[in-house]
Amino acid sequence: MTLRDLAARHGLSLGAALTERGLAVPRYRELAATEFSSVTPENAMKWDHLERDRHTRTWARADAIARFAAQHGQELRGHPLVWHDQLPHWLTEGHFTPAELATLLRTHVTTLTRRYAGTVTAWDVVNEPIEDDGSPRRTLWHEALGPDYIAHALTWAHATDPAARLYVNEFNALAEGPKAKGLHDLAASLLDRSIPLHGVGFQCHLLLGQEVPGLARTLNRFADLGLEVAVTELSVRMLPPVTPAKLAAQAATYRAVVEECLAVPACTGLTVWGIGDADSWVPQGSRSRYGTPTLYDDAYRPKPAREAMARALGAAVVTACGRQVRALPIRGRADAPAEYPAVSR
């Protein structure tokens, strides 16, 4: 069975981040269409890709991914509306007043949500708003507009596309600690003020040997607020050389994340960040010494990680009183030492 079919038995959306460049490769397209029920544009909806020059928006790449999702009956996750990174130079170097920045941000949010209203199922509205110490991240938007830029962005998005599920997305918040607490406090505050927030996304870019004990507990803490939760960006990268032992350890980590998600009824989706190592966001030898983080190798052949995900999705279905329910996770330890002590995005 495909990963997509196995995940559907749990009511789980299984996604992948796609690039328009990758969609030109037949094997990439085949895997993207058959193995996944949801797609996220890896870069095509980011501000520097959409509006490199002011007042000139280029929709072709984002539209291509949206069409692909529609053609294959997949959900489309919009990513991201508001982020402090990957902004066009004209914006970061424009010396705008706070009032002008507020207008620019509102125009950007409403333009995107209006274009893809009825097409995008869920939006990562605000990406990475919390510092590691749990305080608000001091971004261009925070410094100009104050902490309420998050509430404004959620409100603008909801007004333009009230059917879309709206998320805050964050990294390094998988276990209890200052950052997870800061994110939880933010979500609780937004809900207390009746700001339209439907879920929280957890990035899960791991290094080989890094475990995720307590992830289910963290997800449940947010679910207790009445929110959906999702693993929105999953990858497990390693240092060369690639060995069978490292691939087995990578597979164990992928399986552990799936099991943690399945243990939480409010975990509605899981997205792997990329299809194969050939198109990975951490290609070996460029931005990082690490590489080979995905479910498929450079030739798009399945790695042990793909089979481990399939086994986790298959083994977690049990029958009780004639219906399928989620089983508790089987915890496992990656059979390799940690190559780096903390999550690095």
Which residues form the catalytic set?
128, 233
Tokens, residue 89: 């130079």
Identify which of 122, 88, 93 has the alpha carbon closest to the alpha carbon of residue 108: 88
Q: In angstroms, rounded to a whole number, what is the distance separating the alpha carbons of residues 67 and 77?
A: 13
Strand 38-41 and strand 267-272: the pairing is unpaired
Distance of CA 299 to the CA centre of its chain: 24
Cα separation values, 254 from 128, 172, 176, 258, Å: 23, 17, 20, 6
Torsion sign across C-alpha atoms 64, 69, 71, 75: negative
Residue appearing with tokens 């060995």: 243
Please, are residues 81 and 114 in contact by the beta-carbon 8 Å criterion?
no
Cross-strand pairs, 38: 15, 75
Residue appearing with tokens 């010494």: 289
Cross-strand pairs, 319: 324
Q: Residue 319 belongs to what H/E stretch?
A: strand 317-320
Amino acid making up residue 33? A
Give Cβ neighbours of residue 195 (< 8 Å, ≥ 6 apart). Answer: 151, 154, 155
Say what the alpha-carbon torsion angle 328, 181, 130, 257 is, to the nearest 10 degrees: -10
